[in-house]
Structure 1
């Protein structure tokens, strides 16, 4: 009887360990990928400057006027129309954002994520980095 009780406890403990391991494995499988990705100039150029890409410049008006990327939309962060401008974008398509150095675009990317956008790319180093490697602006 004593051995039977010990065997039952052992089996119960063993099955609990297997169940915990199984739960742990399934949770690691369901981990979601990061929504915001910072990408380099070369990758950004290949992906964001094609026709139809959702490319957003979040710099101030005077910065935009001094030059911007081709096909970019100008959504100045902090302006009264910010939210309505963001709502014109498709949440299920990738959005590419940039600013001068990367600070404002990082904030924009976070706001887009909170608004339900699923794939956001942020230009590493902003348009300053873009220009530093000799890429064209309009």
Structure 2
């Protein structure tokens, strides 16, 4: 998908103030049994086609509304991913504004996960 320049500028601004990780690091955290919440931030139709094992669904449209009810601990380690790492960067910036201190955007998103030939789960 060709993203507009204004959208890319917005994402770049978010990336200046958030923590990012990558597919390899998330896979390693999972393999080590690290305690963290993995949130799939895509549209529900994208989630239904496949998602990273162990992920929970909280789409971009509801994440900020519902996060505190499900994960009230502001120090909980949370990794958010989307298709390529753009929407998750925007979401993580909002979570930081809400007071979450240990939130990460997974650069590369599910496309990066698939390119690394890592497994997917289906609903």
Which category of TM-score, normalised to the shorter sequence, fits these structures?
Answer: 0.7 to 0.9
Query: 8 Å contact 1:48–1:54 — kept in the other structure?
Result: no
Inter-partner Cα distance in structure 1 for 2:30 and 2:18: 15
- Residue 106 of structure 2 corresponds to 123
Which structure has more RCO (C-alpha within 8 Å, separation ≥ 6)? 2
* 1:118 partner SS: coil
User: Paired residue for 2:74, among 84, 88, 91?
Assistant: 91
Query: 8 Å contact 2:64–2:94 — kept in the other structure?
Result: no
| TM-score, length basis structure 2 | 0.75
Query: 8 Å contact 1:113–1:120 — kept in the other structure?
Result: yes
Instruction: Note the alpha carbon deviations across 1:8-60, whole angstroms, 9 max, x for none.
Output: xxxxxxxxxxxxxxxxxxxxxxxxxx973211211111225747421111000
Task: Look at both structures and tell me which one has the larger radius of gyration over its CA atoms.
Answer: 1
- Report the number of matched residues: 103
- Residue 113 of structure 1 corresponds to 96
Please list every run of 5 or more consecutive structure 1 residues that lacks an aligned counterpart in the other structure: 1-33
1:1-138 to structure 2, matched below 5 A, reads 36-48=18-30, 50=33, 52-79=35-62, 82-87=63-68, 88-89=70-71, 90-138=73-121
| TM-score, length basis structure 1 | 0.67
Inter-partner Cα distance in structure 2 for 1:100 and 1:37: 17
* Pair 65,53 (structure 1): closer, same or farther in 2 beyond 3 Å: same
Inter-partner Cα distance in structure 1 for 2:88 and 2:67: 13
Deviation at 1:93, TM superposition (A): 1.5
CA RMSD of aligned residues (A): 2.0
Deviation at 1:95, TM superposition (A): 0.7
